[in-house]
A and B are shown apart, each in its own frame.
Chain A
Amino acid sequence: MQRIAIAGLGALLVAFLALPIIALFGTLSLSDMQVGLQRSLVWPALRLSVLTTLCSLVFVISLGTPLAWTLADRRGRFSGMIETVMQLPIVIPPAVAGVAMLLAFGRRGLMAGLLYPRGESVSFTTAAVIMAEVFVSAPFYVQAAISAFRRIDPRWITVAKTFGASELQVLFRVALPLSAPALVAGAAMSWARALGEFGATLMFAGNLEGRTQTLPLAIYTALESDMRAAQALAIVLVVFAFGLLLLIRSSAQSSEDRTR
């Protein structure tokens, strides 16, 4: 009896989380979806979202992997501090991130003198969208990569080094292949976060169709005039995010199989 009561409380939460998703899919007919997807703001936003999130993913992986490898060692005096700071973007509100990005990289920001000697700035351009996405999504990948590297049996690393393997050989031939599934999961998580990014993008990059209007911003814009378009876009985003979630789960599973 008590068991049923406890499970019942859990079921309430499941219902609360599931209902909006059901509403999203259930209240739109197929023809409405088709009409919604034909709105002019849809395809530029979709194209921009794919382009910018792929770019930010490339940045996050190519800079985040070396960072995670360095921090996973725990050797440096500041590594613990850096690790904590790296997690900050996860907890600070996106609006705050937007203000912070403007203050750092905006036209009158901290770096303006260095970055924009001729006055034009990166804010309100597609590059700003990518920067905002990197800012909010990098911690997810870096954190996953750090824990993946720490899970590698240190004997594998020691053995490789006794052969004379260089740091790069250890990283590319031993560490990366062994943690590949966990890295893929981390990258997917980071991608999902970048795809959903709204607040920081709106403040730092604005909402310009074709240049800075990504899917979430297009949904917000469409909501004011055409609910169907907003809903159709939302469904596209949910389906894509669900695909990423499946990828994360299957990668996490094979990661467990691989590192004993």
Chain B
Amino acid sequence: MSLFARISARIGSLQLDAEIAAESGPLVLIGPNGAGKTSLLSVLLGARSHDRARIVIGDTVLVDSERRIALPIGARRLGYVPQDYALFPHMTVRENVEFAMRAAGIPSAGALNVLQELGVAGLADRRPMALSGGEKQRVALARALSVRPRALLLDEPLAALDVHARREVRQLLAATLQRLALPTLIVTHDPLDARVLGTRIAALEGGKITQIGSWAELDAAPATHFVAEFVRSSEVG
């Protein structure tokens, strides 16, 4: 399965014109602050409106403005893990997953299985407040997967973690994503995240994609000053 998206949208003073594709392996989206990364995710999700867009996952057309197709946010079935994970604080881990499944029309009896698959079934009766950063991340991923999504969108999945937790959770996440084999888009600020998690990397600057390629390609021939700095900072770190 693959994810293809071509999007034109006006977001505040930013004109977003981007085309991205994620096929085998996650696509990582990098870019300076205010370049439109999170806005791009919002348009993909259907939380923000677009001017023109075409979004296709496998054979399913989610949005095609020429054919006047635009599935509403709840019908797109995208697994979304926002920054800081946004677990519902008034529900336990199990209730978080059950709520998602019920809203998606899936019998919620399978909630524990979903948690089991990500190795967090033992946390089922805890509240999000009582979880470590890495645990929250896995629970949020389990919740996103519980609705059997067509694709995964992760916004800064490791930014909320401290340096020690980060390395371990990064490896776990990479292994999980490989096993899932879902079209995946990851937004990150961190060069190491991009390098470890991304099969391909897309740089978004000022609302436009300035380069797409593997880490090696970006490293060998960075197209912009930002990409050059980004690649170099991973070597220093």
Contacts and interface: CB of A to CB of B under 8 A. Distances in A.
A163 B89 contact: no
Contact of B74 (A156, A162, A258): A162
A158 B84 CA distance: 13
Interface string B71-89: 0011111111011101011
A159 B147 contact: no
B225 interface: no
B103 A160 contact: yes
Contacts of A156: 86, 88
Interface string B98-132: 01110111000000000000000000000000000
Interface string B134-149: 0000000000000100
Interface string A126-142: 00000000000000000
Nearest to A178: B90
Contacts of B101: 163
B47 interface: yes
Interface residue tally on B, bucketed by range: 20 to 34
Nearest to A165: B103
B90 A163 contact: no
B45 interface: yes
A169 interface: yes
B90 A159 contact: no
Contact of B90 (A161, A166, A169, A177): A177
A20 interface: no
A162 B80 CA distance: 7
A155 B88 contact: no
B86 A161 contact: no
A165 B103 CA distance: 5
A156 B83 CA distance: 11
B83 A155 contact: yes
Interface of B: 42, 45, 47, 73-80, 82-84, 86, 88-90, 99-101, 103-105, 147
Given A155-B82, A163-B103, A177-B90, 10 more contacts: A156-B88, A158-B42, A158-B45, A158-B47, A158-B80, A158-B86, A160-B88, A162-B73, A164-B105, A165-B103
